[in-house]
Structure 1
Amino acid sequence: DGDGDGDGDPCVDNPGSPECCADQPNHPSCDPCVLEPGSDACCADQPMHPSCNDNDGDGIPNDDDPFPDDANLPGVGDPFKVYAHTSGALFTMEAEEPYTIQQVGGFTFNQSPGQVTDIALDRFGVLYAITFNDLFVCNPQTAQCYYLADIPQTANGLTMIPPGVIDPDDDTLVAIANNGTWYRVMQVGNQANFINIGGYNAGYSSSGDCFSIENVGTYCATNKTGVNNGDVIIEANPMNGGNVQDIATTVGYNSLFGLAGWQGAIFGFNSGGQVIKIDPENGTVTLLTNSNNGWWGAGVRTIIPQ
């Protein structure tokens, strides 16, 4: 039986022993990441194991963590909520009824304070923000923002594209200019480079935002030439921002500077304080609430609970 006690199972008396693992290499006790999390043996066998790729154990892999050795930073957003903001404060909204909105707090900055023009969240809940001049990562639980880089030009939209689209393995941060051009944001030191990857079709410009969720879609709020009674919500190609189709005209609701979504729902936040829901299947527009908040942007994770 391998351990000499006659019971026929070397993993009963000596789990994880050489005899056990020689006899039953798939026994849980023989998993190198159970025996020694983070060890060379563990990481050679399972390179994506959290212990091999998350130094501070905060649930954000090192490559996606601006503070890979600080478990308290940058903080992660609630996976069941969308985020919206004014120029100076961050809010959450429940992604399902009753769509309760709560203020997280006013934005604070460790340097280079400014007005936040848009936000975006990756699949882990890390929240990025831009002002007119700079790129930040912000704690979604406190609205404390930490400077990352200067940006080369202003952008009125910011979104994350899910992994497997532009980058095969990771989310991609995209800034959207007022004219509808899409730029991949690549940080090099304290400079954020904008790389042109495409944009909206002729006759469309950015109203202020997009969101992209895996297995849900990529949707954007645009200004369309000849349409003056509302924004036009489009489905966009997440590879390059090109138009796929018009989804709805938000009659009576202009300046949707914030856009987020959920399964079966698009949420628009406008500068007048209104929050609307658009049905992506039939284009129906429903007013959810009037608020006193002049919305400047919104965001949601690229992968949501399904």
Structure 2
Amino acid sequence: MGRDAELPPLPEIDGEDPLITIAPKPPKRPRAPEAISPLAQVNEATGDESASPVAPQEAQSKTPSPASMVKDRLVKPHPLIAGWIADHERRRREAKTNRDPWSYRTAPEPHTDLDRRRFRILDALFRALEARGAKVSESAQGQLSVTIDGQTIEFQVREKARQVKVVEGEGRSAYTRTKLVGTGKLTFAIKTYLRGRHNEERLETDKKPLETQLPAIIDRLFEGAVILKDWEEERAREHQRYEAERKRRAELQRVAEENEKRQAKLAELAGNWQTAQTMRAFIEAVKAVPHDANATIADKSVADWLTWAEETADSLDVSGGGPQRLFEVLGTVKAARSAWSV
């Protein structure tokens, strides 16, 4: 059957034989189960995981994209837009019921897809502005405006038009004229001047529709309100400086006019003093001549006439009252009220 296997002898062990223990291999530690995502749920029948219909709180608080601001359908429009739609339908009904052919031909056309899209964009814009405390209104001329912090900004959303040349007539009577036609693209324009060299018009493109520009438009409107507010305060400060300068010049003019008039009055009083001196000397010379003081002349005695003459001379001379009397008279002299002092 073959030869026996030859095994080499084991090496000799010094000392006592070692104790060898044979035991089963310890089991492996079970792995911790993986955390199940809150977005997944397990199908008990198949064991498959599928996305949960309930989104986590983080997903719910995510800021919506600009395009999601605009609804696909305008179910409950903003009151302004609802008024436009109702007025449009009313005019169409009136035109249809009117027997005048001209009224029927001039009836407003039905709203186009672009009109309805414009309404949806404006609805989203109005509601976003009002959510931030602004007030949207429409003027009597149909111009839209938003009031932010007391500042009013006019704006519009309209279809962009372009000029094209069209040929009218036939044959020799044909001629070419320029006509505005719609481009099918919407544009947003701020009509209020916001200072500076800014292009306040946003035209949509195929890659950048107006819906995606609404956040930037809203931010620009609020920036415009800040610009107008600062401008208003700047104009108020300029007006205050102007008023202060106007009053300063008016005061200088008043003082100059008053000083000129008082100088003229002083010269007049000095002339009156000289006249009074001459009159007194003249009266004394007359009194030195022998006369009948009781004689009556023009219902007055000579003595009364002499008294009147002396009083007249005294009335012209304010020097008798000293400096106080002189400056009391000069103090009554005032400059005339001018438009500068108003």
TM-score by length of 1: 0.20
Q: Which has the higher contact order (CA 8 A, sep 6+)?
A: 1
Report which of the two structures shows the higher radius of gyration computed on alpha carbons.
2
Which structure is higher in strand share? 1
Which structure is higher in helix share? 2
